Structure 1
Amino acid sequence: MNFDKTEILKNICYTELVYGRINKKLKSNFSNVKIEKLIFKTIEETEITNFEKIGKNFYISNLEKNIKITVNSNTFRIITVDKIKK
């Protein structure tokens, strides 16, 4: 499947609840702006071979940062960010 990173980056959006969910999952206390920068940079730097679409979601795995970002493929809304289990 072809993924268009620029389309994802141009359209990503967040809900208020997702910021808390991301901080909880990453065991961090980042500001909303820092979370948005982290996600943008991670998606930008991740090789397209690490993008996967399952059902209605994109899963973007960045092994260097050890995180996987889940994005709704229809709305481009960030759903969550998980640490990758090694």
Structure 2
Amino acid sequence: MNTLKTTIINQICYTALVYKRINKKLNINLSNNEIEVLVKETISNATNIEHIGKNYYVCNYVTNTRITINANNFRVITADRLKHPSKK
């Protein structure tokens, strides 16, 4: 998993709209650079990475954050807060 984390971090890219989407979905207000740092830290400390279909789902259960990344071009698609199983 460490090799995959390194590959994702080295090749990750962003679109202009994804910064706004991440701020909205995570209910935060960060600059583009701060979002990039947040995403890289989330990936570095990921608890689980799943490759489902055309996406990687990078989960960090410590921060309850999931980053969705396109597996072909390593473009960030979105970020979500993970829900606790007991809080459905």
Give the TM-score normalised by structure 1: 0.92
Give a deviation string over 1:17-42, Cα, whole Å, max 9, x none: 00000000011110000000000011
The structure 1 segments of at least 4 consecutive aligned residues displaced by more than 2 Å after TM superposition are: none
Give me the whole-angstrom Cα distance separating, in 2, the residues matched to 1:72 and 1:45: 19
Which amino acid in structure 2 is aligned with residue 75 of structure 1? N
1:7-86 equivalence runs, <5 A? 7-47=7-47, 50-86=48-84
SS at match of 2:78: strand
C-alpha distance in 1, partners of 2:26/2:42? 14
Number of equivalences:
84
Identity of aligned residues (%): 53
TM-score (norm 2): 0.90
Report deviation, 1:82: 0.2
